Amino acid sequence: MTDLTSPPPSAPGSPFEVLRSARGITEAYYRLASAEASLARSALMDATVTGSIALVLALVAAMAAAAALIAGLVALGLAWPWAAVLVAALAAIGAGVSFRSACRRLDDTRFEATRRQIDKLFASRDTP
């Protein structure tokens, strides 16, 4: 007597086996895309926060340094426009370093692993 509650056995290459395999592949790609979306979301938030902090710190540092440094350089005999240019250059260097750091963090938002896996999937179909 056959058990009616269990699914029928399927031979390798049967339509049931192909559907089961396709479902497994689809679930794996979904999990990969979900994990990368989570990573991208986190990276975007980190980059936004880091970039905002860099901007605020660059502005505060530039203003505070401008006030103190310009006064000191003028007291040493340097004309105030040259002192202001020097302070602005230092603030721009600090902002550039922070901006580069934020841009590096954005590299995690490109879904590279998912795209690589999808490329492999479709590349295997193209090769005879």
Q: pLDDT of 24-49, one tens digit each?
A: 888 888 898 888 888 988 999 999 99
Could you report how far apart the first and last alpha carbons of the chain are, in Å? 46
The C-alpha angle 103, 106, 111, rounded to 5 degrees, equals: 150
- Per DSSP, the three-state class of 110 is coil
User: Is residue 4 assigned to a domain?
Assistant: no
User: Does the residue 76 lie in any domain?
Assistant: yes
Flag whether 7 is in a domain: no
pTM here is 0.41
For the stretch 77-99, pLDDT in tens is: 989 888 888 878 887 898 899 89
Residues 6+ apart with CB under 8 A from 103: 47
* Residue 33 · residue 54 · CB < 8 Å: no
Q: Mind listing the pLDDT tens digit for each residue in 103-127?
A: 988 888 888 888 888 888 888 665 5
Please say whether the beta carbons of 47 and 105 come within 8 A.
yes
Instruction: Check pLDDT > 60 for residue 67.
Output: yes
Within-domain flag for 99: yes
Q: Which pLDDT score is estimated for 20?
A: 80
Spatial CA neighbour of 118 closest among 50, 21, 30, 11: 30
Question: Does 100 have pLDDT greater than 90?
Answer: yes
Domain range for 89: 15-126
Residue at 60 is within a domain: yes
Structural domain total, the chain: 1
Q: Which residue has the higher pLDDT, 55 or 87?
A: 55
pLDDT-above-70 percentage for the chain? 86
* Chain centroid offset of residue 91 CA: 26
Higher pLDDT, 3 or 72: 72
Can you tell me the distance from the alpha carbon of 64 to that of 56, in angstroms, rounded to the nearest whole number? 12
Is residue 82, in this structure, part of any structural domain at all? yes
